[in-house]
Amino acid sequence: MECIEITGGRRLCGEVQVSGAKNAALPLIAATLLMPGRHALRNVPRLRDVTTIATLLEGFGVAITRQDETLFLDTRHLRHAEAPYDLVRTMRASILVLGPLLARLGRARVSLPGGCAIGARPVDQHLKGLAAMGAEIALRHGYIEASASRLRGVHFTFDIATVTGTENLLMAAALAEGTTVLENAAREPEVQNLAAGLRRMGCAIEGDGTPRLCIEGRRELRELDIDIIPDRVEAGTLLIAAAITGGTVTVRGCRAEHLGALLEKLEATGARLACGHDGVSVTAPERLRPVDITTLPYPGFPTDLQAQAMALLSLAAGDSVITETVFENRLLHTAELRRMGANIRVDGRTACVRGVPRLEGATVMATDLRASACLVLAGLAAANSTRVLRVYHLDRGYERLDEKLAKLGADIRRVRIPQGY
């Protein structure tokens, strides 16, 4: 078993390259199921979640090879369409194979993804939308059993903006008969990357990036060859790492237009930013000013950067109020931050963060992917040594984050520890 050990207090300086976006790669990998062919996805990050969905597709009969940052997928010979519990429970995003399998094969059996640390994570909107498109949906023994001779276009309004819900229905609509209109659809850049991929495959899609998507279904699609967009959450995490250590860092390859809400908040803390065609640079202020943050669907402040921002604001000169509106239980990292000396009071979905002059290193436990990043950032700024346990959470969504931080000057390393520590 591994943990990450950090000796804090070093200012980060230099340049770092952002990887491809996990949350864009996963739906685009699933989209290759729509069409028997040989597909190429470029700029695919090397992450545990990518390995998990690749294993899932290989179980269906997809042949997958990697050459550098490109993933080649041969989806001409699907043997079956069952996504087993033991894989789905390790990654909820496995639900993304439901729409494409149902659209291509007319049937799919996918384990219901359980909840996770941050919330119940229901998939009712996915199922409601597919049923509206003519699918027969049954829930048996913890599995979703879906069938449809051919899905038909529908005018569907989501009860709540859902990223993977929008992505599942987008993919299903690509092979449906007629036109599908999705209202209250998610607008995230990762959804837009999927829409661009489906367009490459021959779909007529309008409205990507808006809450109203219109998709003309096709009987046949083309092979997919597309670049995965840069990971805005990794980029934001690296920018916050610079700000929390009082450093100056340039994150190469990220797109400022995908980071608007975070950049506004970083500027409000007093950080100085420079946005160029190939990335964003940040210089930390002498003393961080407090700011209030409310997470919202894109283009609002991303819930996936809330924990990292809380680590930063734990050291601001004053009180910040952070409200998490997307997930019902995404403040688990506050308990571990308090063990490092942070002064945070939680009331429901709101955390009142009173900045302290310094954090103390400690052994802390990651509860979920972004909480693990938050604790790493806190460790970078804390006095003495911090050990972040359960680093497998981090490796689900960050490509060698410890190595990238070390290259920027952090005193950080992976350490093997006894099992069950």
For the annotated catalytic residues, the residue numbers are 116
> Rounded to whole angstroms, how far apart are CA atoms 16 and 175?
40
Q: Report whether 201 contacts 33 (CB < 8 A).
A: no
Contacts with ligand EPZ in 66-95 (CB under 6 A)? 93
> Rounded to whole angstroms, how far apart are CA atoms 206 and 373?
36
Structure tokens at 62: 């997809």
Residue from 326, 376, 378, 388 touching ligand EPZ (CB under 6 A): that is 326
> Rounded to whole angstroms, how far apart are CA atoms 318 and 289?
7
Question: Can residue 165 be called a binding residue for ligand EPZ (CB under 6 A)?
Answer: yes
As a whole number of Å, the end-to-end CA separation of the chain is 8
Structure tokens at 267: 């500027």
Q: Which range in 62-70, 155-163, 203-211, 285-293 contacts ligand EPZ by CB under 6 A?
A: 155-163
Question: Is the Cβ of residue 93 or residue 102 nearer to ligand EPZ in the bound state?
Answer: 93
Tokens 């850049």 -> residue: 189
> How far out from the chain centre does Cα 391 lie?
17
Residue from 16, 18, 28, 123 touching ligand EPZ (CB under 6 A): that is 123
Residue from 397, 399, 408, 410 touching ligand EPZ (CB under 6 A): that is 397
CB 113 → ligand EPZ: shortest distance, Å? 8
Alpha carbon distances (Å) from 184 to 93, 111, 125, 325? 20, 26, 11, 17
Question: Can residue 209 be called a binding residue for ligand EPZ (CB under 6 A)?
Answer: no
Q: Which range in 69-77, 82-90, 124-132, 238-246 contacts ligand EPZ by CB under 6 A?
A: 124-132
Structure tokens at 148: 């449809």
Question: Is the Cβ of residue 26 or residue 243 nearer to ligand EPZ in the bound state?
Answer: 26
| Helices assigned H by DSSP within 70-206 | 85-88, 98-105, 124-132, 163-174, 189-200
CB 55 → ligand EPZ: shortest distance, Å? 16
Question: Can residue 304 be called a binding residue for ligand EPZ (CB under 6 A)?
Answer: yes
CB 22 → ligand EPZ: shortest distance, Å? 6
> Rounded to whole angstroms, how far apart are CA atoms 386 and 132?
51
Count of residues near ligand EPZ by CB under 6 A: 24
Q: Report whether 5 contacts 29 (CB < 8 A).
A: no
Residue from 303, 306, 320, 334 touching ligand EPZ (CB under 6 A): that is 303
CB 377 → ligand EPZ: shortest distance, Å? 15
Question: Can residue 369 be called a binding residue for ligand EPZ (CB under 6 A)?
Answer: yes
Contact positions vs ligand EPZ (CB under 6 A): 22-23, 26, 93, 119, 121-126, 160, 162-165, 190, 303-304, 326-327, 369-370, 397
